[in-house]
Each structure stands twice: as C-alpha cells, then as structure tokens.
Amino acid sequence: MATIPKKSIQRFQQELGRFQKILQAAKDRDVNESDTVVIVTDILSYILAFDKYTDITSEFAVRLTYCDLAIKIEGSVKYLIEVKPIGIGLKETHLRQAADYGANHGVDWVVLTNGINWEVYKIIFQKPVSQEKVMEFNLLEMDARKEEDQQKLFLLCKEGISRAAIEEFHRRRQAINRFVIGALLLSESCMTALRRELKRIAPGIHIDNKEIEYVLRTEVLKREVIECDSAVQARAAVKRALAKAVKLSSGAGQQDDTQPVEAKPHGDGAHAAPPAQTR
C-alpha cells in the first residue's frame, strides 16, 4: 500500500464530509449533467488537490467529440473523466464511451463517474483495444478516517499521480489476484511441490500431478477462477512469466565460449498451466 502524505490525509478528512453533503443534496434535487460536472470539478480541486485553472481541462477534444474533463499535468494528460448526471447509474454504454475517448487519445486511464459512484479503468492497447476496471468507490459511503478509503482517494489525487500510485496499484493487482494464484496452483511446478509435500504426509503412497490437478479443478478452486476470460488471461500471463524464468535460468547456466564457468542448475521445470476443463 502507498504511503500517503499527512497533508493528503488531512485534506481528505477536511473536505470529504463537506462534499458528501453537497452530493446528497444534488442527488435529492436530481441535478443535470452540467451541474454534476461542476460538482465533480470541485471534488477534483478540493479533495484531490488539482488546480482548477491549470490541471483540469473541461470539454477536452477527442477526435470529433469532447470528453467532459481531463487531468493534464505539465502538458501530459493523466486521465480522462466522463461525467454522467448524478441521478443516473453508470452503464455499459457509458463505459464504452469513456473507453473510446481514452483509446482515441492514447490515454491509459479513464474515470467514469456520476459524482457519487467512481469507476477507474485501465485502457489495454491491444488488438482489439479493451479496458480493465481497476478500482471503484462510492463517495457517499467513504470514511476519510479509514485507511482503505484514504488509499482509494490517494490513487487519483495529485500527490498520487506524482508518485505513479495508480500504476503501482495496478501492477500489484495484476500480480496478486485469484486468477493468477489459481493459474499458479495449476502449473507443473506448484503441483510438483504439492506432490512432494503430500508424500511427506503419506509416505509410500504413489501420487502424480494429474491426481492433484483433478482435485484442484474439481474440489478446491471455484469454476469461475479457472474458466472465465480473466482466468484465461492469467494463465497466459503465468505461462509467459514462467517461460521467461526458465529461459533466464537456462541462460545463466550456459558456459561462456572464452572462459569456463561452473554450470548452474536449472529451475524446477515450471511450465504453463494446462487448459481449463469444462465440467
């Protein structure tokens, strides 16, 4: 978790409660999109510490249309913000609109909000271009005294941007999640380690990796963890990472042509996780 400066915490605690009252009043009045944009701009300024006149750009031009707001620091767009009326829930069509803005302008991060609900997405610049929800929160439900809520605000605030906090959060989220852990458990290296420990528990009993894999797939891991699109992506990422580790290990063990060196042992033979089986 990021270390949050004291001044950021103090600002969150001073301003969040005030804006929760403003947001609730605006929701009760069911204000329109233009009025919601005004409130969001003030949230960016007073809670997240962006300068209203130099850091926040309204109606940011993207191709032949406009995104509601953009955070621009020293000429570089950090993230785009698409705002919807406070009384309207955020929908898939809104996300596609915000994601298109990010993709068309080459911006990695987009925020979709109605002032109360905030959703943060990472644009994945592959073919086809896609997006990944990295974080979401409800401002009316947040408590500025709770570290978890402070962390969420810090990822979007000006001090957090200067420390690339959201990029670090995303990297950590990619490395530590149920899909990656599920893929690792089904990798040959992990199943071999499990088999070794099982033999200590039950010496003399023959156990192979196929049996361990079957138990993991059918009795230990939830189906959604090993069969959904995120699971497929996690297996591909684990496969690449383990293959790279084996390659580096093999390279370290090769002898130099000009100077003999002691051969180093390879890794434990980790391979990609087998494809998911549908039950």
pLDDT band at 61 (very low <50, low <70, confident <90, very high): low
Q: Average pLDDT, stretch 207-234?
A: 85
pLDDT at 48 over 90: yes
Residue 4 is given by DSSP the state P
pLDDT band at 40 (very low <50, low <70, confident <90, very high): very high
Report which of 139, 74, 136, 71 is spatially closest to residue 105, judged by C-alpha positions: 71
pLDDT band at 65 (very low <50, low <70, confident <90, very high): low
pLDDT at 15 over 70: yes
pLDDT score recorded for residue 118? 97
Exposure string over 194-228, b if 16+ CB within 10 A, otherwise e: beeeeeeeeeeeeeeeeebbeebbeeebeeebbbe
pLDDT at 13 over 90: yes
Exposure string over 89-126, b if 16+ CB within 10 A, otherwise e: ebeeebbebbbbbbbebebbbbbbbbbbbbbbbbbeee
pLDDT band at 62 (very low <50, low <70, confident <90, very high): low
Q: Parallel, antiparallel, or unpaired: how do β-strands 76-83 and 56-62 relate?
A: unpaired
Q: What's the half-sphere exposure (Cβ side, CA atoms, 13 Å) at 171? A: 7
Measure the CA–CA gap between 124 and 29, rounded to whole angstroms.
37
DSSP secondary structure string for all residues of 26-84? HHHHT--HHHHHHHHHHHHHHTT---TTTTEEEEEEETTEEEEEEEEETTEEEEEEEE-
Measure the CA–CA gap between 75 and 55, rounded to whole angstroms.
9
Q: Average pLDDT, stretch 154-169?
A: 92
Q: For residue 129, what are its two tokens? A: 């271009």
Length of the chain: 279
pLDDT at 4 over 50: yes
pLDDT at 91 over 80: yes
Please give the backbone phi and psi of residue 70, each rounded to the nearest 5 degrees, phi first.
-140, 140
- The answer as to CATH 3.90.1570.30 being correct for domain 6-162 is yes
Peptide bond into 128 cis (omega under 30): yes
pLDDT band at 29 (very low <50, low <70, confident <90, very high): very high
DSSP secondary structure string for all residues of 102-128? HHHHT-SEEEEESSSEEEEEEEE-SSS
pLDDT score recorded for residue 275? 43
| Interval 121-154: pLDDT, tens | 998 887 777 888 899 999 999 999 999 999 999 9
| Interval 163-200: pLDDT, tens | 989 888 878 777 777 777 888 888 888 989 999 999 89
pLDDT score recorded for residue 93? 85
Q: For residue 122, what are its two tokens? A: 């990472």
Measure the CA–CA gap between 99 and 105, rounded to whole angstroms.
10
| Interval 231-275: pLDDT, tens | 777 777 777 777 887 778 777 655 444 443 333 333 333 333 444
Residue 268 is given by DSSP the state -
| Interval 97-124: pLDDT, tens | 788 877 878 889 999 999 999 999 998 8
The distance in angstroms from the start CA to the end CA of the chain is 38
Mean pLDDT is lowest, of 4-8, 62-66, 140-144, for 62-66
**What is the location of CATH 3.90.1570.30 in the chain?**
6-162
pLDDT score recorded for residue 98? 80
